[in-house]
Structure 1
C-alpha cells in the first residue's frame, strides 16, 4: 500500500461514526420449527430452544455493551417465530406501521407487536396489503428500501410511503432463499449498503447500482449463511459469525464487524437483523 492509499484508508476508518440506537427484541422462549414457510426451515431438524435463548442473550449483551437501548417484547406462546422481531413493524420518525403477515401462522405476531407499540407511545397503523415490517422495509438515510417478490406485496409500498411520509424504492427479490430484503441487503450507514446481486431482479440490481455505486457486493458463501442479515450503528456491524469473507470486506471499508453465533435461530431462516426491530429516529 502506498502512502496515499494508506491515508485514504485511514480517513475512511476515521469517518465511520457510531450512533446510539433503540431496538426491540423478543426472547425465543417458544422458538421451534413446527412449520416450513421458507427454504431454510426443516421440521425434521431438531431445535434446541435453550441454546436459542442463550445465543439470543449473547446478541442482547452485544447491543447493550455498545450502549444501545433494547426494549424487550414478551413472547407469546404459540407464536414460535415471534423472536424475529424485525418482521413485526416499521417504526420511523415516531410513525409506526404494523406488519400484515403473508402466512396465517404468523398473523398473531402483528397483534402482539401492535400492543407493544401502543404501550410505548406509538400509534400502530395498518396497510391493506401484506407487509412484513423491517424484513422487507429497510431505512437508509431518508429513504425506505422495500423488497417484494415473496412476502411483502408491492402495493403496500405506496401505502407505507404515505404512512411514514418517506420515499420508497421498490426492489424485486427473485431467489426464494432470500425471501426478505434483510436477507439479501444490509444497511451499514445512511449512505452505504451491502447486497447479494443474484438475489435481485435485473431492474432492482440496476436501481441499486444507480443509488449506491460504491455498495459492497457480497459473495455467495457469505450470503448463504445469511451474512447480510446484520445490524449496524454506523461503525459496529453485528453479524453472523460464519460470514467471514463479508467481515473482511467490512473491515477493509472501515467498519468494525462483530460476529455472533445464532445457529439455532438460523434454523428458522433468520439471524441478527431478523431478531432486531429498530426504532428509527
Structure 2
C-alpha cells in the first residue's frame, strides 16, 4: 500500500486557505493541518492517555497484540513524520482500539473478548491504521475548524488549550473524556475497505472481518440505533460490505503470521 500523495489546491473557505486532498478511495477531502501538526497532536494525546489510563503489564497479552500490530504496520510504507509505530495495551473492559497520527496504536484488553483470534484483531488494527493513512483525524479536525469552533490552524495544541476536548475527539479518543466527535459513515466505510486490504496483504484472513462484526453485533446486545440515526454503518451493512470486498481481493502470496493469543 502506497502513501497517498495529497493533491493540493487553494480555496478560500471562511477566510482560510484549505488544502484539497484525495482520500485512498479517491474521495475529495478538505485538509487544513500539516502532517507535522497532526503527528504532534497524536503524540501529545497518546502520552496523556498513558498517564491517565492503566497500561497493561501482562507480558503474553502485550506480545500477542504487538505481534499482530507489527504484521500490519510492516506493510505500511515509511511515514514522513515518524520512524516507528508505538503500540500500547490498555487494561480496560472497553471493546475498543484506536490509532493516532504520529504512529500511535492503542488496544483495550476488552477488545480481545470480541476479536477472538489474530485475524479478527488484525481487522480492527488494520481499520484503525487506515483512519491514519486516510487522514481522517485531520479531515475531522478541519471540519471542526470550518464549523467555527474557534480552533486556530497555526496554533492548535493540547497542553492547556481550551480546545483540548474538541482536539481529542477529532483524533478519535474523545470518548474517553466524555466528548464525542465521531467519524462519519463515509470515513468508517472507507477505513473498512482500506483496512481490509491492508490486513489481507499482511497475511490475515479477510473473511474473519465478517465474523468479527457478527461478534460485535452480539456484544452490542441489539442496542445499536437504526442506521439512519447513527454515523456508523449498521452491523448488517458493514458485514455485507466487508464480505463483498473480501470476495474482490486477490489471493496474496504472503506467509500467514502466527501470533499466539494469551
TM-score tier (shorter): under 0.3
TM-score (normalised: structure 2): 0.25
TM-score (normalised: structure 1): 0.24
- Determine which structure has greater relative contact order: mean sequence separation of CA pairs < 8 Å that are 6+ residues apart, divided by chain length: 1
